[in-house]
Structure 1
């Protein structure tokens, strides 16, 4: 009966599912390996941090903030393992297959673009790196649209799609702004008559506005958490650079952090518990409800 449920689901090809699962896992492993080489070789004999330091600007967060990549890759590992994990429930397997089919080749594209960005960045093709970054951003927006808007809000989708890809999109949104800033810095752009501090404040406000939009329209908590972490990194970087605990940029970042954390606190329980309420799974919740 369980095999019949899976095989008779309309629009899902077993061959396509096998190809997608295999490609998703393969490109994730390639991406991890390429990132490892970028750090430990490193590519072009320069680390990612050293290259970032070549384009000093006021928007790039403190170095420790980039540790979020470890969390993102760990969550993507969970996503990869989830695709082939032997689930006992036929309904959960069916839901998982529907999700993989709906995502299509997007995760493969994202993983490939991640590697392409590292290559462009390490070999200092900064203009090309911006194009690659925005292509990655576009693909992640499409993945998040599936995860938060089109697919049902089940526990598995929340845990293995919304959390990893929401966090990924949030961080890449910040990285895109930082990438453009580095390119402008390298091109010695004068800011169009505005100071670098004012531009930084405006970019922080854009990041906050995007996060609020994601929270109110999509309840994308992970996205907002990634931006909140980036704002903390920006404030920390400025405290280290200028040996001060208060400036316009630091105040704006802290204000953004406070606003986002308040909205996250309000939205968190409805978002988390709705997966439990809406889920049709007969199995117990993987994580408990928030009381």
Structure 2
């Protein structure tokens, strides 16, 4: 369903008027440099456990039947790089490429700080704090996704709009997968058998349903969101292949559902845009 609010419309991006573009606020000053500082902080934070101070993320996390393969975590390199580039671009251009730059920037800053804090509490092996930190990160990143999926700031450079949407899509999706994994790891470490399939399958299905729901809302614009979830579920499939048939089935089913959902919402968005153009 299409919903109008000024020139904003969920699911369709009409070209805004000059007056609408002029009304978009700029961001500058300390808040933009804080984003750069926190983007650097989340990159530097992993040095602490890998220098021998505390446990590494691998050591502090309970191995589960639904844990993604190690190669999937390389996506953090992309997140770190995009975070730095976008933060510096915001300082340079005074925009996030969205119609609500200040709120989106604050969301990203909380996520950057959360990523650094997560590494530190993980090194300290505070079992229940890590999923709480990730829950906060997921909440603000989903808010950022909501903003980034809305009509863009067309006064900003096209490359900045694209970079912001890619960063938000990738980061929000990875946080979505990670928050369910972290809660499962905490449960497996303290409350349940980490080799028991039933409860882990429930967590995995909840993660899949949540990711599909978000994809239905923002996936037509933030294509990086469903693509990153596919990446995460491919990692889960890799771990479970030949070991746990049920997990393999859920992973494959989720990947197929993500592809179909993304295709459907993209087609709906395109048709909505065509209707507006002909009106």
The TM-score, its normalising length taken from structure 1, stands at 0.74
* 1:264 pairs with 2:265: no
Alignment of 1:129-148 (within 5 A): 129-148=130-149
In the other structure, the counterpart of 1:63 is: 70
Q: Structure 1's 66 and 75: CA in aligned 2 closer, same or farther, altered over 3 A?
A: same
Contact map agreement 1:60 1:178 (CA 8 A) in 2:
yes
Return the match for 2:57 from 32, 48, 54. 48
Indicate if the aligned counterparts of 2:141 and 2:172 stay in contact, CA closer than 8 A. Answer: yes
Mapped partners of 1:120, 1:246: distance in 2: 31
> Offset of 1:162 from its aligned partner?
1.8
Q: TM-score, normalised by structure 2?
A: 0.77
Q: 1:18 aligns with which of 29, 36, 59?
A: 29
Q: What corresponds to 1:198 in structure 2?
A: 198
Separation (CA, whole Å) in 2 of partners of 1:120 and 1:95: 30
Matches of 2:236 and 2:253, distance apart in 1 = 12
For 2:172 and 2:142, how far apart are their aligned partners in 1? 7
Is 1:115–2:91 an aligned residue pair?
A: no
| 2:259 corresponds to 1:248 | no
1:28 aligns with 2:39: yes
Shift of 1:233: 0.7
Worse overlay, 18-27 or 253-262: 253-262
Q: Deviations over 1:225-282 (max 9, x none)?
A: 121111111111123xxxx27711112211211221233345457779999xx9xxxx
Q: Distance in 2 between matches of 1:215 and 1:176?
A: 17
1:259, 1:223 → 2: CA distance?
14
Give the alignment partner of residue 168 of structure 1, picking from 145, 168, 171. Answer: 171
Aligned length: 250
Could you tell me which residue of structure 2 aligns to residue 287 of structure 1? none
Partner of 1:103: 104
> What's the Cα RMSD here?
3.2
Larger radius of gyration: 1
Q: Distance in 1 between matches of 2:192 and 2:33?
A: 45
Question: How far, CA to CA, are the matches of 1:129 and 1:272 in structure 2?
Answer: 40
The 3 A distance-change label for structure 1 pair 226 and 43 is farther
Give the unaligned 5+ runs of structure 1. 87-92, 279-291
Preserved contact between residue 99 and residue 153 of structure 2 (Cα < 8 Å): no
Find the counterpart in structure 1 of residue 5 from structure 2. none
Q: Provide the C-alpha distance between the structure 1 equivalents of 2:272 and 2:83, rounded to a whole number of angstroms.
A: 23
Q: 5+ unaligned residues in a row in structure 2: which ranges?
A: 1-17
Q: Evaluate the alpha carbon distance shift between residue 190 and residue 159 of structure 1 in structure 2; reply closer, same or farther with a 3 A threshold.
A: same
CA contact (8 A) 2:68 2:233 kept: yes
